[in-house]
Amino acid sequence: MKILDPSIAAEVANKLLEIQAIRLQPSKPFTWASGWKSPIYCDNRLSLSFPEVRKLIKANLVKSVQHFFPTVEAIAGVATAGIPQGALISDELNLPFVYVRSKPKGHGMENMIEGKVTPGQKVVVVEDLVSTGGSSLKAAQDLRNAGFEVLGMVAIFSYGFDVADKNFDEAGISLVCLSHYDALLPQAVGNNYVDESTLKSLEEWRKNPAVWMQE
């Protein structure tokens, strides 16, 4: 995983905490669909309701695409949360936009990809959040299967799991995130969202989320 800029990573993390798009509850953990217990819940869709934060995210996702993937010819959002971010980026860059469903539409053309499919077109995939990378990489593979050349992926936030890095490496897809868990923790402590005594628990979760708080 790459980041655009450490100062941007800190600023984005702070803004996501400020608007409660990211919530930290080590003493009252959330339960993910996978069954994992988690001290963090991240819903970056909330950023769309805050114009200042929305503009910050859009501007830096655009910069990420321009810097890391300068030959891009189209933008693809991952349903559902990657759709609005992808549309904002494609509009700013004046590029075609498509989005990828999690499964084919059950009627009509039964499309997996909505929008004009142009085989050979160089596309950057847009996500809001990366955890293990499974659903994100499935969308990238669906684009490849349709004939697109996937240059890479940009996202707002990543938990920074080792398994995600491994999955992206194996898929041969470069991931660029605006912010990540390591940038989040200093902001959370510095702005009193959590105290130093809970920091160790937050760090332990990231090391082994599958077993954290399971005993």
Flag whether 45 is marked binding: no
- Quick one: how far is CA 118 from the chain centroid? 25
> Does 150 appear as a known binding residue?
no
Question: 116 among the known binding-site residues?
Answer: no
State how far the Cα of 167 lies from the Cα of 101, in Å rounded to an integer.
20
Find out whether 203 is annotated in a ligand binding site. Answer: no
Q: Are 126 and 75 in contact (CB under 8 A)?
A: yes
| Residue 132 marked as a ligand binder | yes
77 is in an annotated binding site: no
| 133 marked among binding-site residues | yes
- The answer to the question of whether 131 is labelled as a binding residue is yes
134 is in an annotated binding site: yes
At residue 85, the 3 state secondary structure works out as helix
Residue 86 is assigned to a ligand binding site: no
- CA 8/CA 11 separation, integer angstroms: 5
Q: Which of 62, 53, 137, 127 is nearest to 92 (CA)?
A: 62
CB–CB of 46/67 below 8 Å?
A: no
Binding residue positions for orotate: 131
Binding positions for 5-phospho-alpha-D-ribose 1-diphosphate are 101, 105, 107, 127-135
Q: Which residues are annotated as a binding site?
A: 101, 105, 107, 127-135
